[in-house]
Structure 1
Amino acid sequence: MKACIVVGKYYSPGQTFVNRHIQHLFGGADCVVADTLTGEAPQDGRFFEMEPRDRPAVDALRRPFARAWNHARHGTSRMPWGSARSRLKHYLRSRQPDFILAEFGPQGVSIAPIANALGIPVFCYFRGSDASSRIRHSHVQRAYRAMMPRLMGVFAVSRFLLDNLASVGATHPNAHAIPSGVDVRRFQPGEKVPGSCLQVGRFVEKKSPLLTIRTFAEAAGPGAHLTMIGDGELLEPARALVAELGIGDRVSLPGALPHEEVRAHLARSEYYLQHSVTARNGNTEGLPTSIQEAMACGCVTVSTRHAGIPEAIENGANGFLVEEHDFEGYREALQRALALGSPERQALGARAREVAVERFDNDALLKTLEETIAETLQAAQLSGGMRPSPRR
């Protein structure tokens, strides 16, 4: 089956889930449409940049009218228009994909009307901010509601995100929660370093790295060590806080690291810490890939009841959860985790690994995605239309 993947930017190394779909969905995408292509995109005809580098002069005159029209009709001014729309339609006709999968809500909004006009079935995958902070805006709500009837199906990495969409009236009868998943064959427990704690991810508000540092400083004894991998706007404030607290010998902030080095850290860490919260702009997690990877590596996770995290972590069974912004509760949970005897810690880590294998194996989840798409298209073909039969 020939798949077309629509993304915002390609190549983006941090979007492992998108890259995996491009590489493996139905044997690999036949074509990829991106808002922006970087120099790392292969020059083999499969990769198409939606926005022309050089628009004809007439487009400059049409631009304000086209953007206003698209915003009024579709709820967004990002719709391809003029020469970009013509080029995209020509490209899709030449590739003739069996379906389009838009990765993230804004890409779904942009591509769905064009896909409908060409008779190409289209699906959309929601993953985090596209179904959290973005839906605070009325024009985004309107855009999503207008998009839903154009889609054959909707996917999200967590039930939480589907519920978010439903709260603003953006629902679809063929909606499925399918996590991004983790390669449980590559992410496995290694020889654990006693007292080792880890956090992986961008230093941004929704991951509250400064709270994690303060919590670790109060909860952890001299035998524990915290490594926080990633970069972002709060990295320098985090380094300043570590210096202020005088815990530079117990907290390492190496910045962003290659994925293989991250995997090695996860394999040898006993604990994974992530105090995720809803940011002030409404941005949330979906179901963090880093937590799924930590579970596969047998780490005991200490986190929050936030977004899709409770869909993976069961408090006291394979990790510990507290409420968002609960500093005292988080400190107590971390103290409780670090105080576990070796048999108890190993049991929780083993259960985390079992859940990851049972529910977050990305090979199995990719197969589930393929089967859902194939069944939807088959049902639509049998019914003689592009709209799917409702599924439960």
Structure 2
Amino acid sequence: MRVAIFSKSFPVISETFIINQITGLIDLGVDISILTNEIKNENVMHSSVKEYALMDHVISLCNYSGNSKFKKLLISILNFFRLIKNRKIMDVISILLDKYLSLGQKINLFSAILNLNRDVVEYKNIVCHFGDNAYYVYKMRSLGLFSGPISVVFHGYEMSRYDIVNKNLPQYKQVFKLCEIFLPISQLWKDKLIEWGCNPLKIKVHRMGINVDDFKIININKKFSSPLNIIQVGRLTEKKSILNSVKAIIIAKKEVNLVFTIIGDGDDYVEVENLIRQNKAENYIKLLGSQPQTIVKDYLQFADIFLLPSVRASDGDMEGVPVALMEAMASGLIVLSTYHSGIPELINNYESGFLVKEGSVDDLAKGIVKISNLSQRKIVAIRKNARNVCIKKFNNKILNENLYRL
């Protein structure tokens, strides 16, 4: 069975869920093609990219990845004239007159025609990650660059960011009619798609998950460390609320002997660094930057509490169901997060983890103190419940088998 996976950029370290889906389908015997506009060359990368030789599966749609904006413009102009020379005038007109395509998508399509048109492939399915790419993928199919039904995975930002929703809702309404399957990663996003006019019969909630067997609980009866070992892993962005985490840690430190490790990079890195320094917290808050998955797993094994107090960003951006929380739960950590987006579909408060009000630093600090005072019996019960949730509902092995059948 031949399947295409579309991702705007590949490989992206923060999109482990896409990499895991690809490797899971490969394990099931699927012949995978990875379609992407941009090949990323990141310093830190998921080990599966090399282990599965995923770059050998990549088909680059655009021939100007990594170039400057000026050089991209020149290449785009050349692509336009190459299409005219190759008698693709009707394709060019179809792209130029399509009111639903953005200018960037039109330019990328000129390149995609040149790169794909010589080798038209019939796929059993084309899985398009992120809804704002769906019309672009549909347009490639309508131009005859490949064939097969399209399944659209809606994740998070494209469902929530105000500017993206306002810009792309007309595209979404078109793809609701033109594409075959819609795979929101949470019930919350399914309800939103229906609200926007998608046929419920075309929708199936398909969660992103983790390879549960990769995350072992060393000792489910392990007592909390002294000092209490707290960790947060992920992009240092507004919606991950890392600044609230640091503030809550500083407050909780007055009552709890703790250390806090932060793994990740992003827009808020410098501000986090300054906040730690201003509060003279360097001796108990460690900012490590981006780390490979193997290092992250090592840190998770020795942590007690995993913090991720997600919030809706000022631009509207929201989480889906964070994979980082699943990894922590499968590893035997007690997770502390917020009533935000699809997170309550993963965490049942006080049973498989803890949830506090979104955006409240005080509640977050109180949550840390509360967890530090848990009985050993309750700690063990929460660890068991959390791992069972991952095994039953967020297990990549099962999810990939479900996707294969679908």
Any idea what SS the aligned residue of 1:78 has?
helix
- Letter of the 2:29 counterpart: G
- Letter of the 2:18 counterpart: V
Question: How much has 1:244 moved relative to structure 2?
Answer: 1.7
In structure 2, which of residues 296, 317, 340 is the aligned counterpart of residue 283 of structure 1? 317
In structure 2, which of residues 356, 359, 367 is the aligned counterpart of residue 333 of structure 1? 367
Question: How much has 1:215 moved relative to structure 2?
Answer: 0.7
- Letter of the 2:246 counterpart: I
Q: Is the 8 A contact 2:134 2:152 kept in 1?
A: yes
Question: How much has 1:17 moved relative to structure 2?
Answer: 1.8
Give distance in 1, aligned partners of 2:205 and 2:54: 34
Q: Which residue of 1 aligns with 2:68?
A: none
Give distance in 1, aligned partners of 2:262 and 2:41: 30
Q: Is the 8 A contact 1:22 1:28 kept in 2?
A: no
Give distance in 2, aligned partners of 1:216 and 1:149: 48
* Consecutive unaligned residues in structure 1, runs of 5 or more: 373-392
Give distance in 1, aligned partners of 2:327 and 2:23: 20
In structure 2, which of residues 138, 143, 155 is the aligned counterpart of residue 127 of structure 1? 155
Give distance in 1, aligned partners of 2:54 and 2:282: 46
Any idea what SS the aligned residue of 2:313 has?
coil
Matched, 1:49 2:60: yes
Any idea what SS the aligned residue of 1:31 has?
strand
Instruction: Kindly report which structure 2 residues correspond to 1:109-120, keeping only aligned pairs within 5 A, or say none.
Output: 109-116=135-142, 118=144, 119-120=147-148
In structure 1, which of residues 22, 26, 37 is the aligned counterpart of residue 39 of structure 2? 37
Q: Which residue of 1 aligns with 2:169?
A: 141
Instruction: Kindly report which structure 2 residues correspond to 1:349-368, keeping only aligned pairs within 5 A, or say none.
Output: 349-368=383-402
| Identical aligned residues as a percent | 23
Number of equivalent positions:
369
Instruction: Kindly report which structure 2 residues correspond to 1:1-392, keeping only aligned pairs within 5 A, or say none.
Output: 1-25=1-25, 26-38=28-40, 46-53=57-64, 54=75, 57=78, 59=80, 69-70=97-98, 72-74=99-101, 77-79=104-106, 80-82=108-110, 84-85=112-113, 87-91=115-119, 93=120, 95-116=121-142, 118=144, 119-133=147-161, 137-190=165-218, 194=225, 195-220=228-253, 221-372=255-406
CA deviations 1:4-52 (Å, max 9, x no partner) are 1111112223322212233332524432211112469969874222123
Question: How much has 1:230 moved relative to structure 2?
Answer: 0.5
Q: Is the 8 A contact 2:159 2:165 kept in 1?
A: no
Give distance in 1, aligned partners of 2:95 and 2:140: 16
Any idea what SS the aligned residue of 1:292 has?
helix
- The structure-2 alpha-carbon separation of the partners of 1:83 and 1:321, relative to structure 1 and needing over 3 Å to count, comes to closer
CA deviations 1:271-296 (Å, max 9, x no partner) are 11111000011111100000010110
Any idea what SS the aligned residue of 1:27 has?
coil
- Letter of the 1:197 counterpart: I
CA deviations 1:139-184 (Å, max 9, x no partner) are 3000011011121101122122223333433455221222211111
Q: Is the 8 A contact 1:89 1:114 kept in 2?
A: no
Question: How much has 1:246 moved relative to structure 2?
Answer: 2.1
Q: Is the 8 A contact 1:76 1:139 kept in 2?
A: no
Q: Is the 8 A contact 2:92 2:110 kept in 1?
A: no
Question: How much has 1:297 moved relative to structure 2?
Answer: 0.8
- The structure-2 alpha-carbon separation of the partners of 1:225 and 1:212, relative to structure 1 and needing over 3 Å to count, comes to same
Question: How much has 1:343 moved relative to structure 2?
Answer: 2.2
Any idea what SS the aligned residue of 1:156 has?
coil
Give distance in 2, aligned partners of 1:29 and 1:205: 38
Q: Which residue of 2 aligns with 1:382?
A: none
Any idea what SS the aligned residue of 2:118 has?
helix
Q: Which residue of 2 aligns with 1:378?
A: none
* Consecutive unaligned residues in structure 2, runs of 5 or more: 43-48, 65-74
CA deviations 1:348-389 (Å, max 9, x no partner) are 1221111111211110111111112xxxxxxxxxxxxxxxxx
CA deviations 1:183-234 (Å, max 9, x no partner) are 1111122355511111100111001111111111112345211111101121
Give distance in 2, aligned partners of 1:39 and 1:334: 38
Give distance in 1, aligned partners of 2:230 and 2:291: 16
Any idea what SS the aligned residue of 1:147 has?
helix
- Letter of the 2:8 counterpart: G
- The structure-2 alpha-carbon separation of the partners of 1:283 and 1:170, relative to structure 1 and needing over 3 Å to count, comes to farther
- Letter of the 1:30 counterpart: I
Give distance in 1, aligned partners of 2:128 and 2:266: 27
Give distance in 2, aligned partners of 1:338 and 1:113: 54
Give me the TM-score of the superposition, normalised by structure 2: 0.83
Q: Is the 8 A contact 2:356 2:364 kept in 1?
A: yes
Q: Is the 8 A contact 1:313 1:321 kept in 2?
A: yes
Give distance in 1, aligned partners of 2:54 and 2:290: 28
Q: Is the 8 A contact 2:264 2:289 kept in 1?
A: yes
Q: Is the 8 A contact 2:218 2:301 kept in 1?
A: yes
